[in-house]
Chains A and B, each alone.
Chain A
Amino acid sequence: MASAEVKAQSVVNAPVVSAQGSRLTLRQKEAIAGYIFILPAVLGFILWTAGPMLYSLWLSFHSWNLIQPPKWIGLGNFREMWNDRVFWASVRATLTYAAILVPLFQILAFSAALLLNTKTPGISFFRAAFYLPVVVPVAAASFLWQFIFNSEFGLLNYLLGKIGIGKIFWFQEPRFAMSAMIVMSLWLFGGTMVIYLAALQGVPEHLHEAAALDGASALRRLFVVTIPMMSPVIFFNCVLGVIGALQIFTQAFIITGGGPQHSTRFFSYFVYIRGFRDFKMGYASALSWVLFAFILLISLLIFRTLGRMVYYEEEGR
């Protein structure tokens, strides 16, 4: 066996003399082929992601209006941020949105997945119906929600009026505007729900049976079997949920324009406004790096805290 391995190894390392006379081992040839295969992706990453990122890092220490050459201002953009009322408003709006949305979203998606994991007639219809909003373009959905939340002619105020609740100015009052944004986002829980549903179907049935034999109720089994077994998926969805929530853009861009009183001036939208409307590209770059650093920090924090609670079956922890 050992000699066979040695033989195989020597074949791999054996020099191959090509027609041009170059001496490459099979391993080297495979390595070259491998590099060539990954080259498009690596080049794409360097040119279109890493390159612009590094350039924006350089720009974040400059003042640049896109036309005249960038001017070095050191930490000027970060100082401006500190004194910028709208910056703080956008931080507040984004954090409020993420803090409320992420737990609600995960609970809703998980609960829906639990309901849809039953063998009930017509369950396929409900699975499709819950997932459907995910395939509706956000821009189109935003116009729909605009109608639903219209305080004068909207569906929601009409229904609330039927139960005696007076007119609510959904997009005119800051607290209601934020609520409306969160409700709109919750509507898109279908994508996450499908991931939970897939994970639920992967929870071994024998664990449930064993727990049931020991007298565990359905609720008890949920907490001692289902949730621990699904913890990697819950963790994954939470991390993605936080990152996604911190990057919310479209609804505010289409519906509220960041108002009222900057209450929906979410960070990504703020970056866009400063960069592409006001043409303060240096400032927008600095803002982007602040967002990047913040997301990185939050992600690390989640890994350090929630990550420790995750059970990985194959690792036995």
Chain B
Amino acid sequence: MNNHASRFPNRHSRRSFLGGAAALGAGAAGVGIQLGDASAQDSTEISMMGWGSELEKQNVDNGLAAFQEQNPDITVDWIHIPVAEDQQVALKTAIAGGTAPDLFWSTPFRDFVALGAAMDVTEYLQADPVIGAPDYFLQPQEFERATVNDKWFGIGSCWVAPHIYYNADLLAEAGIDPPSSNPAEAWTFEEFKEYGRQLTFDADGRHPGDNGFDVDNVRQWGVSWPTFDIALAGAIYSNGGYTWGTDYTAGHGSPESIEAIQAIADLTNVDQIAPVPAVLSQMGTDWQALATGNVAIIVQGSWSLQDIAKLDFNYGCGVLPVFQEPATVLLAHSHCISSTTEHPDEAWRLLAYLSSDEYQLGLIQAGLWLPSHTSLLTPEGIASWMTEGVHPEGYDQLVTDYVANYGHNLFYPAGYAEANEMIVSALDPVWIGAQTAQEALVDSGVLDELSAHLQEQQALMADI
């Protein structure tokens, strides 16, 4: 025993070890408490829960660093969850657990308004000398996006919108002038289809409509128009229809909407100038197919510009083809303050900062966002974000004219996810030509089911 002890002179008994560990733990806790107290005396900590890619996260990090420098009395705990859908789950769970963040991001934020989890910020906004100015935001889109029963429950982060991207080299090879970024010079949908036909060819160089054209062996597709809600809405609004009404009606069944939906499905099944819509998105992204020359023209969200800009190919952007009138849809997540926050003033100061030009600029310059402030649509404003190597020629007009004058707010009703699932599921057979849009939406009775769901959701909003 003595030998053993002498070989391990520093050996501690279990009791002394546990005692030491406890003392160490208590000491560390004490230090922590002291540090916490010291920082707590100087600043209020508020939390914010959002999502985003690495690029977006970096921009938020930079923005929060600048905000905290300008507001040394506030510390922001930024809870970053990479994927938006996961963030919405985590957010709701946090609210249920009584640990709601002071500020959160949400696109279908009316779900949280209906639950009483989002704070009415109308008074804060009206009292703010900068962002409370009536001409600060692009209107009426911002008001439509951010208010419920004329009360503001959030403020939009930015705008994004679907538009055309094209592979300039492929169009030049086919002798086709690229689509314009001026809505007054937009292609008609018929022109879009004709150019799509000229740009589509099979292994033997035959185009759709030519004798022997082999649709199973296409070398280059002319166009791709994805069918997720945002891209589809661009066609529907251009044909005079709508998707989700502020009165909680679904507009997918109107003749104009049906016609637009059918026209998009026919690009694949009748005109044979587009792959089955889901196929490209299954590959990850359709802009990769654009860059590699598998498709010449795609309709995609403006947010894709930041990724497209990194690829080594000659690209350009244009407005969507016109059915009846030039149109696109605008959307983006809103920043909301939790109704249970203990620091509403500090949370508002952060929300106001997130609504500033300074914060928005970084991601507009990168090509992820479009501006939602009128100050960024002036010549000086445009000069502050147009970035060489990202925004192609004419992109400023696409923003100042197309987005500002022809952009419709894409309304997100409460219960949007379930409502949209009904439409998505009903339209599945349309994209492969197994049903017409009329059969899938109107004759199937799905719109009645949808209407009942929306009415139920609208009732939740009545007392807001």
Q: Shortest CB–CB separation between residue B220 and chain A, in angstroms?
A: 12
Q: A150-B283, A261-B425 are in contact. Are A276 and B115 (CB under 8 A)?
A: no
A157 closest partner in B (C-beta): B216
Chain A residues with CB under 8 Å of chain B are: 65-68, 85, 146-147, 150-153, 161, 166-167, 169, 171-173, 255, 258-262, 273, 276-279
Q: How many residues of B contact A (CB 8 A)?
A: 33
Q: A68-B115, A169-B276, A279-B111 are in contact. Are A259 and B424 (CB under 8 A)?
A: yes
Complex: A273 Cα to B424 Cα, angstroms? 15
CB pair B92 A66 closer than 8 Å: yes
Indicate whether B73 reaches chain A with its CB closer than 8 angstroms. Answer: no
Indicate whether B263 reaches chain A with its CB closer than 8 angstroms. Answer: no
> Given contacts A67-B117, A150-B283, A277-B85, could you give 11 more A-B pairs where the C-beta distance is less than 8 Å?
A65-B115, A67-B92, A153-B279, A153-B283, A153-B294, A161-B217, A172-B276, A172-B279, A260-B428, A261-B428, A276-B92
Partner among B89, B116, B278, B424 whose Cβ is within 8 Å of the Cβ of A171: B278
B218 closest partner in A (C-beta): A152
Q: Shortest CB–CB separation between residue A183 and chain B, in angstroms?
A: 16
Chain B residues with CB under 8 Å of chain A are: 85, 88-89, 92-93, 95-96, 111, 115-117, 216-217, 275-276, 278-280, 282-283, 294, 415, 417-418, 421, 424-425, 428-429, 431-432, 434, 449
Q: Shortest CB–CB separation between residue B27 and chain A, in angstroms?
A: 28
Complex: A255 Cα to B116 Cα, angstroms? 34
Q: Shortest CB–CB separation between residue B8 and chain A, in angstroms?
A: 29
Interface contacts (Cβ under 8 Å), in number, total 74
State the 8 A-B residue pairs at the shortest beta-carbon distance, nearest first.
A260-B428, A66-B96, A152-B279, A67-B115, A261-B428, A276-B89, A167-B216, A152-B275
Complex: A66 Cα to B117 Cα, angstroms? 11
B112 closest partner in A (C-beta): A67
Contacts of B92 in A (CB 8 A): 66-67, 276, 279
A265 closest partner in B (C-beta): B425
Q: A67-B92, A67-B95, A152-B275 are in contact. Are A259 and B425 (CB under 8 A)?
A: yes
Which applies to chain B's interface (DSSP): helix, strand, loop or mixed? helix
10 A-B residue pairs with Cβ-Cβ distance under 8 Å, sorted by A, are A66-B93, A66-B96, A68-B116, A150-B282, A152-B283, A173-B434, A260-B429, A276-B92, A277-B417, A277-B418
Complex: A169 Cα to B277 Cα, angstroms? 11
Contacts of B421 in A (CB 8 A): 258, 273
Complex: A239 Cα to B216 Cα, angstroms? 43
- Most chain A beta carbons < 10 A, residue from B85, B95, B115, B425: B425
Q: A150-B283, A153-B283 are in contact. Are A67 and B116 (CB under 8 A)?
A: yes
Complex: A277 Cα to B84 Cα, angstroms? 12
Contacts of A66 in B (CB 8 A): 92-93, 95-96
Q: Shortest CB–CB separation between residue A59 and chain B, in angstroms?
A: 12
Contacts of B278 in A (CB 8 A): 171-172
CB pair A152 B417 closer than 8 Å: no
Q: A66-B96, A67-B116 are in contact. Are A147 and B431 (CB under 8 A)?
A: no
Q: A151-B276, A152-B276, A279-B111 are in contact. Are A146 and B282 (CB under 8 A)?
A: yes
B460 closest partner in A (C-beta): A65
Contacts of A262 in B (CB 8 A): 425
Partner among B89, B93, B115, B276 whose Cβ is within 8 Å of the Cβ of A277: B89
Partner among A68, A150, A173, A260 whose Cβ is within 8 Å of the Cβ of B279: A150
CB pair B216 A147 closer than 8 Å: no
A64 closest partner in B (C-beta): B96
CB pair A151 B95 closer than 8 Å: no
Partner among A68, A152, A259, A273 whose Cβ is within 8 Å of the Cβ of B280: A152
Q: Shortest CB–CB separation between residue A299 and chain B, in angstroms?
A: 31
CB pair A278 B417 closer than 8 Å: yes
Complex: A161 Cα to B202 Cα, angstroms? 15
Complex: A173 Cα to B424 Cα, angstroms? 14
CB pair B432 A173 closer than 8 Å: yes
